[in-house]
Amino acid sequence: MLAGRRVVLGITGGVAAYKAAYLARRLVERGAVVRTVMTDAATEFIGPHTFAAITGTRPVVDLFDADDVSPHTTLGRWADAIVVAPATAATLARLANGLSDDSVSATVLATAAPVVIAPAMHTEMWMHPATVSNVERLESFGYHIVSPEAGALAGGDTGLGRLADPDRIADAVAGVLPGGPLTGVEVLITAGGTREPIDRVRFLGNHSSGKMGNAIAAAAARRGAHVTLVTAGPGIEHPRVTVVPVDTAAEMAEATWEMAEKADVAVMAAAVADFRPAKALDGKLRRSDGPPMIELEPTPDVLRGISEMTDRPFLVGFAAETGGIDEAVAKAQRKDVDLLVANDVTAPGSGFGTETNQVTIVLPDGSTDPWSLLPKSEVAERLWDRIAELRKSEGTST
């Protein structure tokens, strides 16, 4: 997504400016052509020569001491995308109010390219009503905000305000650019484990973290798709991902079936509860009342609901198994999916909560393709490669 793309990286005067060097390197490694622009304050934290060495081009620092008579407009027109990282509270205020009194803000105001802003500051500054208002205004301009993370801050403090991981910012830059093999494709993904209430404080659930579904969503977005992620777990932040939070299987079914009507591909990676309490207590069960008798009833079959649609999307199912592949093969045929991903959640390094997964691809004819243990991000990329192959064989060009 970034190969050959022209990216302007703006660095402003915060302690996190040193991380911009890592971001510049990540962008270059992904094939982007990178130019940099720095505020005077940024040079107090990291030298311009660092970025010159990484990108091969000297940064613009002073608008009035450059070879170009109008470096900010030149950069603004040259850029396919602009990313400001770190963006201080002062920078957010300048950009939100159209001020252009430094090289970075002037460059952002002089572009029609997509803009990504990655703020970094102390928690109190990030939470201040003025900053909150400025961020909301920047979002209304169409700028994409990569929210800061919690962690160590300047001066030994900790809290929310730490610059986002450079790879996450690079993903966001790729996400605001058009193009990619899945451009124009609507993708629906489910993730996480549903929670079926027993009473007001307890639920029946499972160990699914949602990491696999999130990885699949991120990979699709990187390839240009617009993704709707229906999740019972934490979602992801990406310009082309719309997160729909749900809790129960019924909520997931309702959201998923509605979204499936316009989807080209649906990947059902969520761990959906098969049963739920027939009636949740409107209150709290008490130990003093003794062990409760909980009557269970089936939940909606989210996967089958899509497979039975007349004009359904290309359908990918998931099966978390506890040994052997026979049941997964039977499920692929029973659920009438186009492809099924099976994984043994008892295998070392595979399954719920891990960063890796060992899966077997199952086709409706019963043929299988076991993959080795891989990072979930790599499983996601290979899965989209396989989906592309199968859709092409069916006559679908994207």
Structure tokens at 154: 């300047």
Q: What is the 3-state secondary structure (H, E, C) of the chain?
A: CCCCCEEEEEECCCCCHHHHHHHHHHHHHCCCEEEEEECCHHHHCCCHHHHHHHHCCCCECCCCCCCCCCHHHHHHHHCCEEEEEEECHHHHHHHHCCCCCCHHHHHHHCCCCCEEEEECCCHHHHHCHHHHHHHHHHHHCCCEECCCEEEECHHHCEEEEECCCHHHHHHHHHHHCCCCCCCCCEEEEEECECCEECCCCCEECCCCCCHHHHHHHHHHHHCCCEEEEEECCCCCCCCCEEEEECCCHHHHHHHHHHHHCCCCEEEECCECCCEEECCCCCCCCCHHHCCCCCCEEECCCHHHHHHCCCCCCEEEEEEEECCCCHHHHHHHHHCCCCEEEEEECCCCCCCCCCCEECEEEECCCCCEEECCCEEHHHHHHHHHHHHHHHHHHCCCCC
For residue 206, indicate whether it is catalytic.
yes
Catalytic entry in 97, 134, 206, 357: 206
Alpha-carbon distance of 73 to 71, in angstroms, equals: 6
Closest CA to 332 of 296, 359, 357: 359
CA 170 – CA 165 distance, rounded (Å): 9
Q: Using CB atoms within 10 Å of the CB of residue 328, give its burial: 0 to 12 exposed, 13 to 18 middle, 19+ buried.
A: buried
Q: Which residue matches tokens 């029609």?
A: 112
Active site residues per annotation = 206
